[in-house]
Amino acid sequence: MKIIYRYKEMPSKITGTIKRPIARIQMWSSKLNRWINVEGFLDSGADITLIPFGLGRMLGFKIDEDNVKVLGGVGEGRLSVCIVEGKIRIGAMEFNARIGWAFDNKVPTLIGRLDIFDKFNITFKEKEGKIIFEPVE
């Protein structure tokens, strides 16, 4: 079963507007005891999924000092995160994934490769503004 997402037109300081690959997934909240709808940038350059601090709190994550890491980004950007495991649902498929829970609310949600991209064949159709997820059999 294919899952199709559409690019979303968004403002950009460089181009005025740009279409970005956005996926709408669900993440399990142990705090609320239900699935939460989450929109994030599908980022094939991100090693791990990244979420802002407030979303992690809503999902019920707890800080574990042993799992605090510093991630590097573009240039010399650094971001402190706690590596947590969360339950994700994409279409009908549910699975656990490691997530970088940022200690900052200004970071966007990024859907990265680790524990997600290996479960799907993902096609970016830039010209059509579509992303297609096909579960790996």
For the chain, the domain total comes to 1
At residue 76, the pLDDT reads 72
Residue listed under structure tokens 């940022």: 102
Q: Is 90 helix (H, G, I), strand (E, B) or coil?
A: strand
d(C-alpha 97, C-alpha 115), whole Å: 5
* Band (72; pLDDT cuts 50, 70, 90): confident
Question: 45 lies in which domain range?
Answer: 3-135
Q: What is the tens place of the pLDDT at every residue in 39-60?
A: 999 999 999 999 999 999 999 9
The pTM of the whole model exceeds 0.85: yes
Nearest to 23 by CA among 46, 9, 4, 49: 4
- Across residues 109-137, what is the average pLDDT? 95
CATH number of the domain to which 108 belongs: 2.40.70.10
pLDDT digits (tens, 9 = 90+) for 19-33: 999 999 999 999 999
Q: Looking at residue 73, what is its pLDDT?
A: 74
- pLDDT attached to residue 125: 96
Full DSSP string of 10-63: EEETTTEEEEE-EEEEEEEETTTTEEEEEEEEE-TT-SSEEE-HHHHHHHT---
Q: What is the mean pLDDT of the chain?
A: 95
Q: Report the pLDDT value the prediction gives residue 91, as an integer from 0 to 100.
A: 94
* pLDDT, tens only, 75-103: 677 899 999 999 999 999 999 999 999 99
